[in-house]
């Protein structure tokens, strides 16, 4: 195991060089192969990682819990609502305490714009143990690492000239975070792919993520473009990644809401706005606009027959379950690469 990443925080993929991202992917590939051969990988014996959640989770929580167990570590699940955070304990104090008791801290804080990423960095500044982002308002770097791992398994490591379409899609369930599409446009432009982003006008992404995606594309010699419809985005795509996220201005209003009643009203407005764009669905007709070898991806859970039809998500072009399994192997790679045994000094 290369020890060059020991002690590093993993908060945004942009914080790591391309070489370091590839290093994590190599570790994930090796751990996946050993997992399927039934070989033990006790790389973090007797270590503890705290998993702090401000939002619900299925794949992320289980990837880290199962991954920690398979590495020989213990994962402690913490619901922020039943910790002293709910009574006002600061990010600094939380980081100091958890960091003194274990070997790593992983955090999901994704629903409120301009809060989650800031909170994680405040925790990271207070502790010497690595802080890992299980999804914030800016990025979902464990998801996108699994996404690029999956894409490479299918198309190979040389992705130059491949096109990925990242598109908004309709959802009737709730206003979802912006971090998955933001994470995709900032990472995939670095990985040699041409990226097309599609969304209705109300569903823009954070300015800083758009700026980063453009800069990454320029540096890598790839393309980054924005269109206003799914059909154009899907045309000749090798990978399609349609998913829902919340309307930006209303997400800001939700951030500033001062009561549960305000929050509920804004959530209703967001779902009403979503409903204006019900035709934004990934169906077999749209898949025909992509290349014949194109794959359908989604971070899951997908709103079936809203974001995507059953025919597509259960069809031969769907790789969502391969993608979901890779969440385990990339979570293990991140923990194994960054967590370290004491002493720290």
Q: What local confidence, expressed as pLDDT, does residue 2 receive?
A: 73
Edge to edge, what strands does the sheet with 295-296 contain?
224-227, 194-198, 163-168, 239-243, 295-296
According to the model, what pLDDT value does residue 340 have?
Answer: 85
Residues 78-108 have pLDDT tens digits of 999 999 999 999 999 999 999 999 999 999 9
Q: Retrieve residue 231's tokens.
A: 């059909």
Q: Residue ranges of the domains in the chain?
A: 13-139+327-338, 143-324
Calpha distance 287→74 (Å, rounded) = 42
Average pLDDT over residues 145-166: 98
pLDDT in tens, 216-274: 999 999 999 999 999 999 999 999 999 999 999 999 999 999 999 999 999 999 999 99
Q: How confident is the model at residue 345 (pLDDT cuts 50, 70, 90)?
A: low
pLDDT of residue 215: 98
Instruction: CATH number for 13-139+327-338: choose from 3.40.50.1370, 3.90.1300.10, 3.20.20.140, 3.40.250.10.
Output: 3.40.50.1370
* DSSP sequence for 238-250: SEEEEE----HHH
DSSP letter for each residue of 87-116: GT--HHHHHHHHHHHSSEEEEEE-SSTTTH
What integer best gives the mean pLDDT of the chain?
97
pLDDT range class, residue 1, cuts 50, 70, 90? low
Whether 343 shows a pLDDT value over 90: the answer reads: no
Mark out the alpha helices in 221-317 (DSSP H runs): 230-234, 248-256, 260-274, 284-287, 310-313
Distance, CA of 89 to CA of 238 (rounded, Å)? 46
Alpha helices in the chain (DSSP H): 18-37, 59-70, 91-101, 116-126, 141-155, 179-188, 207-220, 230-234, 248-256, 260-274, 284-287, 310-313, 320-338
Q: What is the pLDDT of residue 124?
A: 98
pLDDT in tens, 110-138: 999 999 999 999 999 999 999 999 999 99
Helix (H, G, I), strand (E, B) or coil at 196: strand
- The fold adopted by the segment(s) 143-324 is Rossmann fold (3.40.50)
33 CB-near residues (< 8 Å, 6+ apart): none
Residue 3 has pLDDT above 90, yes or no: no
pLDDT value of position 243:
98
The pLDDT tens digits of the residues spanning 64-82 come to 999 999 999 999 999 999 9
Domains 13-139+327-338 and 143-324 share a fold: yes
Across 10-14, average pLDDT: 98
């Amino acid at each position: 195991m290369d020890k060059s990443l020991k002690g590093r925080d993993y908060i945004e993929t942009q914080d790591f060089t391309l070489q370091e991202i590839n290093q994590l992917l190599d570790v994930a590939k090796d751990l996946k192969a050993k997992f399927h051969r039934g070989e033990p990988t006790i790389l973090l014996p007797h270590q503890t990682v705290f998993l702090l959640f401000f939002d619900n989770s299925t794949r992320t929580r289980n990837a880290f819990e199962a991954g920690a167990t398979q590495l020989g570590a213990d994962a402690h699940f913490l619901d922020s609502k039943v910790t002293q955070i709910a009574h006002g304990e600061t990010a600094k104090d939380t980081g100091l305490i958890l960091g003194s008791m274990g070997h790593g801290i992983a955090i999901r804080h994704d629903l409120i714009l301009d809060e989650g990423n800031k909170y994680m960095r405040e925790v990271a500044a207070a502790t010497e143990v690595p802080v890992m982002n299980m999804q914030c308002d800016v990025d979902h770097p464990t998801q996108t690492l699994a996404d690029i791992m999956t894409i490479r398994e299918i198309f190979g490591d040389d992705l130059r000239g491949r096109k990925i379409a990242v598109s908004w899609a309709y959802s009737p369930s709730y206003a979802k975070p912006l971090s998955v599409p933001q994470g995709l446009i900032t990472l995939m432009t670095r990985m040699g792919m041409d990226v097309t982003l599609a969304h209705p006008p109300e569903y823009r992404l954070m300015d800083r993520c758009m700026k980063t995606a453009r800069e990454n594309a320029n540096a890598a010699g790839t393309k980054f473009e924005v269109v206003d419809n799914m059909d154009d985005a899907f045309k000749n795509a090798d990978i399609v990644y349609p998913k829902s996220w919340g309307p930006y201005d209303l997400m800001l209003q939700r951030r500033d809401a001062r009561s549960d009643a305000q929050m509920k009203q804004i959530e209703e407005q967001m779902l009403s706005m979503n409903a204006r764009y019900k035709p934004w669905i990934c169906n077999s007709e749209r898949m025909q606009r992509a290349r014949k070898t194109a794959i359908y991806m989604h971070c899951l859970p997908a709103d079936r027959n809203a974001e995507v039809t059953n025919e597509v998500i259960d069809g031969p072009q769907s790789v969502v379950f391969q993608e979901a399994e890779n969440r385990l192997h990339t979570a293990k790679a991140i923990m194994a690469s960054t967590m370290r045994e004491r002493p720290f000094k």
